[in-house]
Structure 1
Amino acid sequence: MFSKKKMVASIATAVALTGVSFVATNEVAPQTFAQQEVKADSWINNYINQNGIQPVSIQYREGTFTNWIPYENGVGKPEGVVVHETATPGATAEDEVSYFNNNWPTIQTYVHAFVDDTSIINIHSADYAVWGAGPTANSKYIQVELCETSSVDAFARSVANDAYYVASKLHQYGLPVEYGKTVVSHDQTSQWWHETTHTDPTGYFAKWNYDMEQFTALVNQYYSTMDGSNTNSGNTNTGNTNTGTNNGGVSSNTSEGTVTVKNPSSFMVPLVAFNNHGGITKSNRGLANNTPWYTDQTKTYNGHTYYRVSTNEWVMDSYATFTAK
């Protein structure tokens, strides 16, 4: 049911992305397509608009991937989104999520999200890199897999969901919509850096008389409807109910108690700070494992709850056990 594509993709990704920094060698600058006119005329895009198809909400779940890898420019600083397709006809986003969560240590491959015609499932924080398109692309891009469908309507709905996810992530990180720069295919990254041989989603899109330029036009359509207070509109987050303020897509709440922290992968628990644009930056300090800390406020961001332990230093729920006062 699941293609060997995953196994092949992993060969070039496992070596370079096991540490906390990246070294790129013999890097080839990508072609610049941003100045070319993007083909907005597409029968699929027209079908989506004429039939009133709307993207579904993004579901945020904590996957099993235990590597928290900064991008080459730092945590929370991706440069765009790589669009993949699964090459597994009939497999749903739920199927793929289950497969990757159960098998990534063996296949050495993982992505941020899976999309089909009925769901968008984000399984790893886009603040951190994953293993999906070779070392160089991994160190730069958020990565999303589009599931294959078998009907025009299902394809249109899946593409709408995929474009919405890409637009949401670009907007979240303050990136523009630029074909061949911030919106790229796995095919393009293979051509630029020769670290994988994959050509997706080019062939699958062509089956529906569709291409990445038309897809980028759809991304731009959704992106243009987003504003500063709507970066994550439609997203379904887990964690606290938003009863506080919302700044750039970050929900704040009063929540007094104690968090006990632990990081199984290190001697310390990482801290982050929230910036004025609603994103996070990595702190240069950390907390000792198995220590309790007073907290009086939480923020919900990108599917995670963050607990404040100092003026603007926060610990993510993955490392914290909260006890209410």
Structure 2
Amino acid sequence: MFSKKKMIASIATAVAFAGVGFVATNDVAPQTFAQQEVKADSWINNYIAEQGIQPVQIQYREGTFNNWIPYENGVGKPEGVVVHETATPGATAEDETSYFNNNWPTIQTYVHAFVDASEIINIHSADYAVWGAGPTANSKYIQVELCEASTTDQFARSIANDAYYVAFRLHQYGLPVEYGKTVLSHDQTSKMYGETNHTDPTGYFANWNYGMDQFVAQVNTYYNQMNGSNTNGGTDTGSGNTNSGNGVSSNGSEGTISVSNPASFMVPLVNFNNDKPSKANRGLANNTPWYTDQTKTYNGHKYYRVSTNEWVIDTYATFTAK
């Protein structure tokens, strides 16, 4: 799926990245963006609560984007989250994930995650920057795209999922919920830095009588629930848990692995089924870095997770903790 919105983004982004680092633009003075008032009253937020809608679990899939770009403050140091909207009616998170993975070298645009009413798909480590909102915003923020919904219930569920993803990332990186500072729309970053002309998701939200202030209130709800409690964000929290059985123990272990297989052009992957490893049908390129958020120990070897159920044995991996 593709839209004019994505093409406009690519023009700004192409100028921003001439290599693995950022090219800062110092000739545009950012506008001051005061922290906005957050309104708790929202019929959509109330609908989410009344219907007992719960966010889905975040899926971690390693995408094809092979640029590992530190934020301006360093790897693993984002300053907040930018909320986008796809402007592609009918496209699902699966559709958008597939499109971006196949076309980012041409359109010069990529984000960390896509969200719809039923899925949250994370396709690039949030420890590293992407190409979605112009050079300055790219160097600061995690970026997530919300897919368009066609019914009230779908919209509410997609908002719940999107707000959860934002809250999870803020909580993960120890950032507070601050509207206009750590939670921003693409519309806001366009006004702040003058490097893109996008206004999403403002218009789309307005179609549902919704606004960013109400969205941030929902983010805050989930964020508060995360304090002192478990989340359903998968294993990306880095919090350890142990499951014993058939010689397997599992633990959260967040960081990066560098992979290499001297005997081949690629590093083999394995799947774990019934707590036993089996050869996967894919591999990783030699001498490439991969984000990992969980390990398993089986028969004396440690395995590092690089996607939903794909693992690299320690024989081919060098781990660096986050």
2:135 matched to which residue of 1? Answer: 135
The 1:43–1:73 alpha-carbon spacing in structure 2 relative to 1, beyond 3 Å, is: same
What is the alpha-carbon distance in structure 2 between the residues aligned to residue 85 and residue 71 of structure 1?
22
1:314 matched to which residue of 2? Answer: 319
2:164 matched to which residue of 1? Answer: 164
The 1:259–1:51 alpha-carbon spacing in structure 2 relative to 1, beyond 3 Å, is: same
The 1:154–1:298 alpha-carbon spacing in structure 2 relative to 1, beyond 3 Å, is: same
2:106 matched to which residue of 1? Answer: 106
1:20 matched to which residue of 2? Answer: 20
Q: 8 Å contact 1:3–1:88 — kept in the other structure?
A: yes
What is the alpha-carbon distance in structure 1 between the residues aligned to residue 178 and residue 232 of structure 2?
21
What is the alpha-carbon distance in structure 2 between the residues aligned to residue 143 and residue 305 of structure 1?
26
| Residue 191 (structure 2) pairs with residue 188 (structure 1) | no
Shift of 1:226: 0.9
Shift of 1:15: 2.4
Secondary structure of 1:62 counterpart: coil
Cα deviation per residue 1:22-56 (whole Å; 9 max; x = unaligned)?
3231353453443x431111111001101101111
Please provide the CA RMSD for this pair.
Answer: 3.5
Secondary structure of 2:145 counterpart: strand
Q: 8 Å contact 1:115–1:162 — kept in the other structure?
A: yes
Q: 8 Å contact 1:58–1:235 — kept in the other structure?
A: yes
What is the alpha-carbon distance in structure 2 between the residues aligned to residue 55 and residue 182 of structure 1?
21
Provide structure 2 residue ranges, at least 5 long, that are not aligned to the other structure.
Answer: 244-248, 268-284, 294-299
Secondary structure of 2:12 counterpart: coil
Secondary structure of 2:143 counterpart: strand
What is the alpha-carbon distance in structure 1 between the residues aligned to residue 103 and residue 242 of structure 2?
34
1:154 matched to which residue of 2? Answer: 154
Shift of 1:4: 1.8
Which amino acid in 2 is paired with 1:260?
N
What is the alpha-carbon distance in structure 2 between the residues aligned to residue 128 and residue 60 of structure 1?
15
2:234 matched to which residue of 1? Answer: 235
The 1:299–1:30 alpha-carbon spacing in structure 2 relative to 1, beyond 3 Å, is: farther
Task: Give the TM-score normalised by structure 1.
Answer: 0.76
The 1:73–1:228 alpha-carbon spacing in structure 2 relative to 1, beyond 3 Å, is: farther
The 1:204–1:269 alpha-carbon spacing in structure 2 relative to 1, beyond 3 Å, is: closer
Shift of 1:16: 2.0
Secondary structure of 1:11 counterpart: helix
What is the alpha-carbon distance in structure 2 between the residues aligned to residue 86 and residue 307 of structure 1?
37
Secondary structure of 1:15 counterpart: helix
Which amino acid in 2 is paired with 1:24?
T
Q: Between 69-78 and 18-27, report the one with greater CA deviation.
A: 18-27
What is the alpha-carbon distance in structure 2 between the residues aligned to residue 307 and residue 174 of structure 1?
31
Which amino acid in 2 is paired with 1:314?
F
Alignment of 1:146-295 (within 5 A): 146-227=146-227, 230=230, 233-235=232-234, 243=243, 244=249, 250=253, 260=261
Which amino acid in 1 is paired with 2:166?
V
Shift of 1:260: 2.9
The 1:209–1:305 alpha-carbon spacing in structure 2 relative to 1, beyond 3 Å, is: same
- Identity rate of aligned residues, in percent? 67
What is the alpha-carbon distance in structure 2 between the residues aligned to residue 5 and residue 212 of structure 1?
19
Alignment of 1:91-102 (within 5 A): 91-102=91-102
The 1:270–1:236 alpha-carbon spacing in structure 2 relative to 1, beyond 3 Å, is: closer
Task: Give the TM-score normalised by structure 2.
Answer: 0.77
What is the alpha-carbon distance in structure 1 between the residues aligned to residue 242 and residue 304 of structure 2?
9
